[in-house]
Amino acid sequence: MEIYAEHGCFGGTQRFYKHASKECGGEMKFSVYLPPQARERTVPVLYYLSGLTCTEETFAIKAHAQQVASELGLMLVGPDTSPRSERYPGDADAYDFGVSAGFYLDATQAPWSKTYRMYSYVTRELPALVNANLPVRAGAVGIFGHSMGGHGALTLALKNPEQYRSVSAFAPIAAPMQCPWGTKALGNYLGADRETWRAYDASELVAKKAYPAEILIDQGTADKFLAEQLHPQLFEAGARKSGQKLTLRMQPGYDHGYFFIQSFMADHLKHHAALLGG
């Protein structure tokens, strides 16, 4: 992997990498914040999955996470949201499907199945690369995300509890089978059989089996996507079925954007540090 940009930040280093990805069929990029503690020892790593329209730069620039990560000794890794090297007809016609909208799944429908393998990329290929080249503390891995990335964080953690010791989300697409964003993405990437969609629906997954640790979700009440697209109440209902420990905080007056994320970022980083040992 190759560093294509590097900046000093709160005593640590903000880097941006690129590398050749087998899963995604071409060049992929990701961001890494290395806290100052990483110069002397291994540190926990926290993966952040961004939402629709975002890139590997969005979280690093807009979330204002580095100061608290520096204090807690957390490494932050932020992958891109979709493959970009191989292009397909119509892949940029809409903001909610195709480029910047990989939905953190492995597509099964042509042509997307060739390179839209973000689930395998995030859970296998990227961690292998990070672990081999950066000072990651073994077994101290968490995941969180926003909107489409919140959907990704919840589903990846619920499907791989042995890999992720902590999980949280900001305004996640909590029940994609029940919203326009989700049905469009799942239908096109996975096909018409809705039974196959359940493997990537956090509300379906949590209803069947609880995640070992408490899950933290923040959701703004002024979010314009809340009623139609996000459905945190369905995730909450699923959590009750399985006995999942869940803190769902409805935050009055906050919308869907990064000012909302900035406001509660410290809480999420502390939640992860407590479980990972920052």
| Catalytic residue ranges | 147, 223, 256
In the chain, the amino acid numbered 2 is E
Query: In the 3-class helix/strand/coil scheme, how is 1-67 assigned residue by residue?
Result: CEEEEEEEECCEEEEEEEEEECCCCEEEEEEEEECHHHHCCCEEEEEEECCCCCCCCHHHHHCCCHH
3-state SS, residue 184:
helix
Residue that has been written with the tokens 């502390």 in this structure: 270
Instruction: Specify which residues 8 forms β-bridges with.
Output: 13
Dihedral sign for Cα atoms in the order 226, 231, 237, 241: negative
Ordered strands of the 75-79 beta sheet: 2-9, 12-21, 26-34, 75-79, 43-49, 136-146, 166-170, 215-220, 246-251
Question: Is residue 49 within 8 Å of residue 2, measured between CB atoms?
Answer: no
Question: Is residue 151 within 8 Å of residue 175, measured between CB atoms?
Answer: no
Tokens of 19: 């590398």
From CA 254, how far away is CA 261, in angstroms rounded?
9
Dihedral sign for Cα atoms in the order 132, 212, 105, 50: negative
